[in-house]
Amino acid sequence: MVKVKFCGMRRLEDALDAARLGVHALGFIFVKASPRYIAPEDAQEIISQLPPLVVRVGVFSDQNEQEISAVLDICDLDALQFHGQESPELCRLFAEKKRIIKTFRVKDESFLDEIPKYNFVDAILLDSFHPHLKGGTGKSFNWHLARRAREFGIPIILSGGLKPDNIKQAIVEVNPYAVDVSSG
In CATH, what number is assigned to the domain containing residue 24? 3.20.20.70
In the chain, what is the straight-line distance between the N-terminal and C-terminal CA atoms, in Å? 20
Tell me which of 8-17, 20-29, 111-120, 127-136 is least confident: 127-136
Question: For residues 121 and 103, is the Cβ–Cβ distance under 8 A?
Answer: no
Residues 6+ apart with CB under 8 A from 22: 4
pLDDT at 55: 98
Side chain identity, residue 37: Y
Mean of per-residue pLDDT scores for the chain:
93
pLDDT of 167-179, one tens digit each? 999 999 999 999 9
How far CA 149 is from CA of 74, 111, 126, 128, 152, in Å, comes to 34, 9, 9, 14, 6
Residue 134 pLDDT > 60:
no
pLDDT, position 142? 79
How many domains does the structure of the chain reveal?
Answer: 1
One DSSP character per residue, 150-163 reads GGG-SPEEE-SS--
30-84 residue pLDDT tens: 999 999 999 999 999 999 999 999 999 999 999 999 999 999 999 999 999 999 9
Cα separation, 48 vs 75, whole angstroms:
9
Strands 99-106 and 79-82: parallel
pLDDT band (50, 70, 90) for residue 130: low
- Among all residues, which ones are annotated catalytic? 7, 127
More confident site: 160 or 120: 120
Full domain range(s) for residue 136: 3-181
Give residue 115's identity as a one-letter amino acid code. Answer: I
What pLDDT score does 161 carry? 84
Q: Give the single-character DSSP code of 77.
A: -
What's the confidence (pLDDT) of residue 160?
85
